[in-house]
Amino acid sequence: MRTANKRGQSMQMPFQMIFSLFLIAVFLVVAFFVIRHFISIQECSQVGLFYRDLQDKITSIWNAQEAEQTFEGILPSSVKYACFLNFSRGKILTGLNGEQRETADGIYDELAVYYRYKIANFFLYPPKNTCDMPSRLLEHLDTGTASNPYCIENKGKVKIRLYKGFNDFSVKVRQ
């Protein structure tokens, strides 16, 4: 009889350990998905805040008689470029070196396929990494820069030089 008890007890211990390991694995998987979801929410918030802060800076400069300021905003690392683009002007790649020209050319062609008829003057690239917020119409902004599109690389922070002269009606972007 003693040997039967020992066998029963020895079988329960591994079952309890296996069940415990299974529960630990389930908790780890759930924790991974929850953390990933919160990181995704943070990145979407960064995109939304970037748009809001940029519009606030443009409006502030537009309300001044004459001003020149640099806007610095943070975007998720998955967003590679912030681009000013006016589809009605067509593709203009003047004032760009070889690598910039190639990048701007590819960005223009890719964005034109999906967003050509959308009313917007500012785009984040690549659009799939922008939480369904790839573009915005920024008010009081003149996108008449030398090149079209004019893209600024995201290097942790995006720095955009904005100015408005005394006789200017809108805020302009300095290249």
Task: Lowest mean pLDDT of 38-52, 74-88, 152-166, name the range.
Answer: 38-52
Domain ranges of the chain: 38-174
Residue 163, SS3 per DSSP: strand
pTM, two decimals, is 0.78
Q: What is the mean pLDDT of residues 127-151?
A: 87
Q: What is the mean pLDDT of residues 94-107?
A: 83
CA distance 49 to 47: 6
pLDDT above 60: residue 134: yes
Residue-by-residue DSSP string for 35-84: HHHHHHHHHHHHHHHHHHHHHHHHHHHHHSSSEEEEEEE---TT--EEEE
Q: What is the mean pLDDT of residues 61-72?
A: 93
Q: With bands split at pLDDT 50, 70 and 90, how would you rate the model's confidence at 129?
A: confident
Eight-class DSSP state of 167: T
